[in-house]
């Protein structure tokens, strides 16, 4: 029986954050892969292998919204991309809009809210869901 779990790619420089978010999302039934830096990200096939990409913003090498923009507009990644950050939400909205990606999720709302948002996005009630359809 094929594994029909939705696949999520988490990108964040915090190992602890990757562990916590992965555990919560895995517990909710998602298949999660993680990247802690750009080398990790380069090793992961971001093309059509994921149903959703969650990207931290303030990372040591680059801003996550810049990385997201490259994934979307240079590499042609079609999976919805959301920024995942502790920055002020107005700034996050602006960064997501500038990068022309689907949106953002605030870390400030906690893990339960993260799982709820991911469920909503992948269930089709938020931007980017249409990209899930073949």
Partner 1 sequence: MSDDLRAKFRDRFIAVAQERVKLGIQNLSDQGDAAVVRAELHSLAGEAALIGFDDIANTARTGEAAAEEWVERGEASSQLACARVLRQLARTLRQLEGESASETGDAARPSQNAERRVLIVDDSAIVADQVGEALGDAGLEVRVASDLSSALEAASTFAPDLALVDVTIPGVDSTDLCLRLADAFAPKKVPILLLSGLSDEELEVRARSAGAQGHISKRHGLAAVVDGVRAALEGTTP
Name the nearest CA neighbour of 67 among 49, 42, 31.
42
Q: How far is the CB of 86 from partner 1 (least distance, A)?
A: 4
Name the nearest CA neighbour of 12 among 78, 74, 115, 82.
82
Q: How would you list the strands of the sheet with 81-85, edge to edge? A: 31-35, 7-11, 52-55, 81-85, 103-106
Binding of residue 89 to partner 1 (CB under 8 A):
no
Residues 2, 4, 16, 90: which binds partner 1 (CB under 8 A)?
Answer: 16
Residues 42, 48, 49, 86: which binds partner 1 (CB under 8 A)?
Answer: 86
Q: How far is the CB of 46 from partner 1 (least distance, A)?
A: 22
| Of residues 18-77, those binding partner 1 (CB under 8 A) | 19-21, 23-24, 27, 56, 58, 60
- The Cβ-side half-sphere exposure at 109, using a 13 Å CA radius, reads 14
Radius of gyration from C-alpha coordinates of the chain: 13
Q: How far is the CB of 25 from partner 1 (least distance, A)?
A: 9
* 75: three-class secondary structure by DSSP: coil
Going by the DSSP 8-state scheme, the letter that residue 125 receives in this structure is S
Residues 50, 95, 107, 117: which binds partner 1 (CB under 8 A)?
Answer: 107
Q: What residues line the site for partner 1 (CB under 8 A)?
A: 13-14, 16-17, 19-21, 23-24, 27, 56, 58, 60, 85-86, 106-112, 114-115
């Amino acid at each position: 029986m094929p594994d029909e779990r939705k696949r999520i790619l988490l990108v964040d420089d915090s190992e602890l954050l990757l562990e916590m978010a992965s555990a919560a999302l895995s517990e909710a039934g998602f298949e999660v892969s993680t990247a802690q830096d750009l080398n990790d990200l380069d090793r992961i096939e971001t093309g059509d292998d994921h149903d959703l990409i969650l990207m931290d913003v303030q990372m040591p090498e680059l801003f996550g919204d810049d990385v997201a923009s490259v994934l979307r507009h240079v590499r042609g990644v079609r999976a919805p991309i959301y920024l995942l950050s502790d920055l002020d939400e107005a700034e996050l909205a602006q960064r997501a809009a500038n990068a022309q990606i689907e949106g953002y999720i605030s870390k400030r709302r906690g893990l339960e809210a993260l799982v709820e948002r991911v469920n909503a996005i992948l269930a089709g009630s938020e931007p980017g869901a249409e990209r899930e359809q073949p």
